[in-house]
């Protein structure tokens, strides 16, 4: 889960080949400090090991982790304390907070969705709508918030969508082509209407994606599927109507917003001199 190359790139991006001008001008090379990473808002923590790895990367090793990923946190909670060179702490500060706030924001958002449908058997699932280069981290954060992951990559499973159906000349042709080329791959197929559902159901897909259907249509679709395969609802789902979708009987609700629109959780660093 820890991507050292990504951490190195993030730190290098912050320095851009130079030095931290402000810290070098105002802080002694031998100055020592203690710093607390503190949550400013409540949420769910994700990325604490990434923050620790950023600190390690700049030479800081005296680190005490006080909260673990997946734990609920409240405003004012100290998440991690680091002791060491002041310049190094301030060099790592923004990169560590960027990772920590972003991932904790995803975990916190996911937890809200999970809570919204907690009384059902439906699971909250992410999509591939992730920040380029951050997919492993963002999907990890979804799991920390209580959600589950859809496929990690295009090679994990087939998802036959409307454009594939058009390009292949029909749903049955697209399905048959995938099954022939990749006989052991799981196949999910998208439908927009109940008529399309009836067309693809005899193909025995592993999962059917009910795209942009209302909760009422999803319930009708589940009745037609009648346990023959797994189902997933996607499109038009909000926190306000998530429970209605979950109660329709679908196995999953796919929420792209978990990774592409979650707000950063406000986490700060409070420095004090040794």
User: Is 94 one of the catalytic residues?
Assistant: yes
- Of the candidates 125, 110, 121, 126, which has an alpha carbon nearest to the alpha carbon of residue 247? 121
- Annotated catalytic residue: which of 83, 129, 230, 243? 129
- Rounded to whole angstroms, how far apart are CA atoms 195 and 216? 15
Respond yes or no: is residue 52 known to be catalytic.
no
**Catalytic residue status for 9:** no
Q: Which residues are CB-neighbours of 164 under 8 A, at least 6 positions away? A: 174
The rounded distance, in Å, linking the Cα atoms of 80 and 68 is 9
- Rounded to 5 degrees, φ, ψ at 85 are -60, 130
Whole-angstrom distance, CA of residue 162 vs CA of residue 52: 43
Out of 8, 40, 121, 161, which one is annotated catalytic? 161
Active site residue: 41, 67, 83, 94, which one? Answer: 94
Active site residue 68: no
Helical axes 4-15 vs 86-116, angle rounded to 10°: 120
User: Active site includes 83?
Assistant: no
* Cβ 186 vs Cβ 207: under 8 Å: yes
Single out the catalytic residue among 57, 109, 188, 211: 211
Residue in the structure block whose two tokens are 């301030």:
90
Identified catalytic residue from 77, 93, 190, 251: 190
Catalytic residues: 94, 129, 161, 190, 211
């Amino acid at each position: 889960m820890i991507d050292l190359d990504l951490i190195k790139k993030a730190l290098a991006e912050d320095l851009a080949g130079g030095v931290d001008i402000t810290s070098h001008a105002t802080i002694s090379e031998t100055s020592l400090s203690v710093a607390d990473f503190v949550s400013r808002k409540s949420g769910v923590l994700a990325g604490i090991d990434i923050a620790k790895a950023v600190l390690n990367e700049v030479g800081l090793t005296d680190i005490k982790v006080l909260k673990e990923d997946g734990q609920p946190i409240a405003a004012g909670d100290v998440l991690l304390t680091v002791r060491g060179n002041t310049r190094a702490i301030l060099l790592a500060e923004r990169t560590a907070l960027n990772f920590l706030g972003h991932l904790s924001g995803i975990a916190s958002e996911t937890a809200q969705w999970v809570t919204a449908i907690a009384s059902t058997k439906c699971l909250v699932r992410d999509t591939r709508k992730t920040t380029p280069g951050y997919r492993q981290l963002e999907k990890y954060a979804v799991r920390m918030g209580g959600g589950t992951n859809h496929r990690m990559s295009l090679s994990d499973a087939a998802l036959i969508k409307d454009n594939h159906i058009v390009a292949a000349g029909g749903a049955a042709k697209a399905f048959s082509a995938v099954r022939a080329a990749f006989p052991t791959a799981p196949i999910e197929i998208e439908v927009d209407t109940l008529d399309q559902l009836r067309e693809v159901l005899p193909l025995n897909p592993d999962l059917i994606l009910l795209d942009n259907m209302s909760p009422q249509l999803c319930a009708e679709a589940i009745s037609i599927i009648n346990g023959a395969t797994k189902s997933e609802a996607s499109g038009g789902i909000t926190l306000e109507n998530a429970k209605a979708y979950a109660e329709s009987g679908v196995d999953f609700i796919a929420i792209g917003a978990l990774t592409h629109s979650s707000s950063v959780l406000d986490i700060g660093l409070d420095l004090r001199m040794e």
